[in-house]
Copies of this chain bind each other. A is one copy, B any other.
């Protein structure tokens, strides 16, 4: 696992991140990732929010072919709730990328992140695309610039790369997620691989990997209008991995990107893992974990380093799942505070002063398990989401 390499880690990819002038700050705000092949298999997963940004509507269409030649991403504007004109802006962005790369617009996915409800400055976007095309490179620096160009309130670029002994690798970058970006609450990720894999297999692998990684990070229940995860396969390694090996490495890299999202969440002071065991089904384990992860009384207690298991019991009692209050067990950082639904060890034994907290909830009604990652609810979260909102 190497966090200094990303989308340019696998062979067959070039990338760039430039300052297009979309952000008034002059920071990098446009990223281009190009797949030089020989293959161009691709797959994507998108937000479930019914209010979808124009770039999501566009990218969902172009990914239907399970082929992509390039992905263009911008920060500084989400292009969401912008109507038909906003969709035309996205189309024009893809056309511009197609022009400079001499491919079809249908081969170009578009991602945007930033304020909802504002049109993008298209002159700046077109300028940025031309500038990025000139700076495309397969270097580590180019990958870092690509990861930096999508940042909004992220405190640092987030990349991960890992290789398989057989000679192929997976790399990618990510930005945002839940609390991470208040009115830019978007999570965008582009993952690349030089493995030989067709679009159908890539799509199946991406859904398996994201269901265990991106789908299990819940910082505030938010689902943005722009959330997107794309994976591109160049086949440049010439190696065709087994489905198991590919899913395993893709999941490992995705999981490391998600861990970085959790660690950089806005106002985070605690990195919390909620482990739900003994659930009737894995889906219910995830649902119970998310219900607890989204409870403000639990999140504020964790911010206060308070092992308040009563709030956890109250929170999970709201979940739509098979729960027997008399069988409930709750442990925090290894101390069993609740057993058979009642008080067990004294709460004073649980030390929550560190940054990492593990909550283990045992429903004792089944054999399924899942872990949901979340954060605490801190003063910094309120500050960053109120005082500094647009």
Q: Which residues of B contact A387 (CB under 8 A)?
A: 304
Q: Which residues of B contact A383 (CB under 8 A)?
A: 379
B342-A300 in contact (CB<8A)? no
CA distance A222 to B390 in the complex (A): 29
A328-B51 in contact (CB<8A)? yes
Q: Which residues of B contact A185 (CB under 8 A)?
A: 297, 311, 314
Q: Which label, helix, strand, loop or mixed, suits the secondary structure of the A interface?
A: loop
Selected from B221, B340, B386, the residue in CB contact (under 8 A) with A306 is B386
Q: Which residues of B contact A210 (CB under 8 A)?
A: none
Residues 332-355 of A at the B interface (beta carbon under 8 Å)? 338, 340-343
Nearest B residue to A320 via CB reads B50
Q: Is A310 an interface residue (CB 8 A)?
A: yes
B50-A311 in contact (CB<8A)? no
Q: Is A220 an interface residue (CB 8 A)?
A: yes
Q: Is A92 an interface residue (CB 8 A)?
A: no
A88 to chain B minimum Cβ distance, whole angstroms, is 13
A226 to chain B minimum Cβ distance, whole angstroms, is 9
A316-B379 in contact (CB<8A)? no
A203 to chain B minimum Cβ distance, whole angstroms, is 24
11 examples of A-B residue contacts, CB within 8 angstroms: A52-B317, A82-B343, A83-B326, A117-B309, A117-B343, A182-B311, A183-B308, A183-B310, A222-B315, A296-B377, A308-B390
- Seen from chain A, the residues whose Cβ lies within 8 Å of a Cβ on chain B are 48-52, 78, 80-83, 86, 115-118, 179, 182-183, 185, 220-225, 294-297, 300-301, 303-304, 306, 308-311, 313-318, 323, 325-326, 328, 338, 340-343, 377-379, 381-383, 385-387, 389-390
Q: A51-B317, A185-B314 are in contact. List 14 more A-B contacts (CB 8 A).
A: A49-B314, A50-B325, A51-B325, A52-B325, A80-B314, A82-B343, A86-B342, A116-B310, A223-B314, A224-B314, A301-B389, A306-B386, A306-B389, A382-B382
